[in-house]
Amino acid sequence: MLSSRQLMLSAALLTAAVAPVAHASTLAYWQFEGGTAGSVMGSQAAGALADSSGNGNVLWTYASYTAPTFSADVPAATVPQTSGADNLSLQFSASAYSNSTRDVYPASGDPINSLGSLSAFTIETSVKFTTLSGNETFLGHDTTSTSVSNSGDIYFQSTGSKIRFIWSASDFTSHPSVTSTDTVTTGVWYDLAAVYDGSTVSLYMKSPTDTAYKLEGSAAFTGSAGIHQGGLWSLGRGQWALANVDQFYGLQDEVRISDSALTTDQLLFSSPATAVPEPASLGMLALGGVSLLARRRKNA
């Protein structure tokens, strides 16, 4: 028979095996795998791109003159963190209409547009610039009023040859802005992440010469940690005075929004991926430990 101490150890192992494993929740994940290289994204519902998170945040564009083009130019053939294939990205170029921008966005009723208060978040994407002129916003979140800030409340953008992330609190009491210390150039992929941990907003970047994400800067956040209700998330441009501005020229891929502050080894293009044992595997480990204890007891 097992001793009381051995029984307690076995019980602890079994409890760990069946206890739920805590995972960060992915709110939206756009991979752009629903097209053909060289083709223009379809407009409205017919061309909607799927949300890999399963939360139904499909991406739309208004018309062919606002639509980006699918490209086979991608950051990597496989996303290290998920082991998923990466075959396509979206290419944003100048619109045929001078007063229009190319952009994609979730439908107004999709859950990603109604987040409300957030205790933490991580926003990830990969970009490759065709030009670097002024401000080019590749990911943002719009407001619905010009009365307070006159702009969108999230900007993830290039500013000259650097990367900048700006977030205005839902009550506009805090406007942390983080700019990269390293510069970027055209023609190469950069993997980016903006992380909010409840008190600080941090910007991370992985360049082609980096083996891991690097902290580029951080800023304290003291406002109400919310996202403005009613505005849309958008890719390919920013917003000012309710108008589309700051067109992004380049390629974009692998956009993921999570509801927790991910560590750098959990980001999409971290390699090797952080592996979390499945509950079933933990259970087998625990049962193996019980069996080993019993065998040692018998042979003693």
- For the chain, what are the domain ranges? 1-21+282-300, 23-275
Which residues have a Cβ under 8 Å from the Cβ of 161 and sit 6 or more positions away?
132, 183, 184, 185
Q: Report the topology of domain 23-275.
A: Jelly Rolls (2.60.120)
* Euclidean distance between CA atoms 192 and 156, whole angstroms: 9
State the sign of the Cα–Cα–Cα–Cα dihedral 80, 83, 88, 93. negative
Query: What is the distance between the alpha carbons of residues 29 and 11, in angstroms, rounded to a whole number?
Result: 39
For residue 128, give the nearest of 249, 254, 271 by alpha carbon. Answer: 249
pLDDT of residue 158: 97
Contacts for 203 with CB less than 8 Å, ≥ 6 apart:
163, 164, 165, 178, 179, 180, 192, 193, 194, 195, 215, 216, 217, 218
Q: Where are the beta strands (DSSP E) in the chain?
A: 26-30, 59-60, 69-71, 78-79, 84-85, 89-92, 105-106, 121-129, 135-141, 154-159, 162-167, 177-179, 189-196, 200-206, 214-220, 233-235, 238-240, 243-245, 250-258
Whether a cis peptide bond, with omega within 30° of 0, leads into 176 is no
Residue with tokens 């700051």: 246
Is 111 exposed, middle or buried, given 0-12, 13-18 or 19+ CB atoms closer than 10 A?
Answer: middle
3-state secondary structure of 16: helix
pLDDT along the chain (300 residues), means of 10: 45 37 74 94 84 94 92 97 96 74 88 80 97 93 62 84 84 76 98 94 96 96 65 87 86 96 96 51 42 47
Q: Give the pLDDT confidence score for residue 141 in this predicted structure.
A: 85
Whether pTM > 0.85 for this model: the answer is no
Phi, psi (deg, nearest 5) at residue 191: -100, 125
pLDDT of residue 151: 54
Q: How far apart are CA 205 and CA 243, in angstroms?
A: 29
